[in-house]
Amino acid sequence: MGSSSVKLRVGSLFMNVGKSEKHDPDIRQTPHVNINPFTPDSLFLHTSDGQSRRRKRTYWNDSCGEDMEASDCELEDETIRPAKRITITESNMKSRYATEFHELEKIGSGEFGSVFKCVKRLDGCIYAIKRSKKPLAGSVDEQNALREVYAHAVLGQHSHVVRYYSAWAEDDHMLIQNEYCNGGSLADAISENYRNMRYFTEPELKDLLLQVARGLKYIHSMSLVHMDIKPSNIFISRTSVPSMTSEEGDDDDCSSDRIIFKIGDLGHVTRISSPQVEEGDSRFLANEVLQENYAHLPKADIFALALTVVCAAGAEPLPTNGDRWHEIRQGKLPKIPQVLSQEFLELLKVMISPDPEKRPSAVALVKHSVLLSAAKKSAEQLRIELNAEKFKNSLLQKRSCSLHLREDIAKIEEIQRWLKGMIRGI
């Protein structure tokens, strides 16, 4: 290794690369790394200088094993924090996109950029790669792009949040590798329904509401809010799952297609406490956010979710402003062109209440009797339908056996007549 050395201190985010003997050992070079504002560590990294500059031996039990020496967990003379934020330009690299991925098709575009369906050359799996439309370095959009990466990285895996894999920069453009959802977006499904003159049925609407509420419950539990819930940011994954546990020796195919809704596009995510709010789509924006009242930010996601469900129910396009916009913010549901149960309409109505405190939380929604009863009814209906199909199959098998038996008897009788004829001839 020569005179160069690489030194990494666990738990302190301190890295000294290629330190020479000429350097004063007390002078430490601050690493150039971004601070993710959504992680608990960011709170530590942003602590005041006066409180943390002269602590000598602080131990992070979460970062160090019991068999590590205390010196491995030592916090040095000053709080370690980046000298500056790394820009998109500084993280540029040789085209990873072209090297690692084969582009199949463009599957979407929006304010941020375009999304491509790609297969990764190494693992052969399909991913969605989002690429910014224009160079982001130094632009206002750069912070939003980094915010999305930060949020994805912190949220990790949840069945109702689009999974994040990695992000990088090329030619000053941001690229984000996410889970590919084979059903497209909810906005796509709504448009398709509109062309075919159909709507999501009430059971489907309740399922949509329940699944997205579960995703929001998880996001809110991480002390984050989405702030841009709308149909184009809800994605659909269609998967084949067993309807029930197959019985031993039962070769029947009991699988069925299941639709899973996932929350994506996290470019507006912010903390519940000390938020930095970037207003989302005005059609789904709660009035208190417009008035810069951020005391109940999770309830703004609930407001937007109710209007998302209303759109899926077949309502006309929502207004961006004007009298109809204000009527909705006063608690009046847009006109829905199908008959829905009163209890479901009441739930949607309370979700857009002008008073955010009256709106149910995501935790309350996933336990709501209207949605739970629908889930139970759906499961029970599935069992009834499955039993009915098994009964039909049993009858068909019996009929089939009976038909074959009649055919066999007819053949035997024919043989008997032939034998009798042969005997008479003798």
Q: Is 108 annotated as a binding residue?
A: yes
* pTM recorded for the entire structure: 0.68
Give the integer Cα–Cα distance in Å for 346 and 188: 27
Write down the pLDDT at residue 85.
58
Encode pLDDT of 113-124 as tens digits: 899 999 999 999
| pLDDT band, very low/low/confident/very high, at 404 (cuts 50, 70, 90) | low
d(CA 106, CA 113): 11
Domains and CATH numbers, the chain: 1-82 (no CATH), 89-179 (3.30.200.20), 186-367 (1.10.510.10)
Give the integer Cα–Cα distance in Å for 216 and 226: 8
User: Which residues, listed in sequence order, are joined to residue 256 by a DSSP beta bridge?
Assistant: 241
User: Is the pLDDT score of 217 beyond 70?
Assistant: yes
Question: According to the annotation, is 288 in a ligand binding site?
Answer: no
Mean pLDDT calculated for residue range 85-95:
58
pLDDT above 70 for 383: no
Regarding predicted confidence, which is higher, 231 or 66? 231
Instruction: Give me the catalytic one of 141, 172, 207, 228.
Output: 228
Task: Calculate the average pLDDT of the chain.
Answer: 77
More confident residue, 148 or 45: 148
N- to C-terminal Cα separation, the chain: 108
The mean pLDDT of 388-398, rounded to a whole number, is 61
pLDDT over 80 (residue 266): yes
Question: Would you call 72 a catalytic residue per the annotation?
Answer: no
- Tens digits of residue pLDDT in 227-251: 999 999 999 999 875 555 444 444 4
Mean pLDDT along residues 129-149: 78
- pLDDT tens profile 155-199: 988 999 999 999 998 888 889 999 999 999 999 999 999 999 899
In the predicted model, what is the mean pLDDT of residues 1-10?
40
pLDDT tier at 392, thresholds 50, 70, 90 = low
Residue 392 vs residue 413, higher pLDDT: 413
pLDDT tens per residue, range 32-50? 666 767 666 555 555 544 4
pLDDT of residue 274: 86
For 291-336, the pLDDT digits (tens) are 999 999 999 999 999 999 999 999 999 999 999 999 999 999 999 9
pLDDT of 60 over the 60 cut: no
Q: How far is CA 108 from the centre of its chain?
A: 17
Can you give the pLDDT at residue 340? 96
Mean pLDDT of 406-423: 69
**233 known member of a binding site:** yes
- State yes or no: 310 annotated in a binding site: no
State yes or no: 111 annotated in a binding site: yes
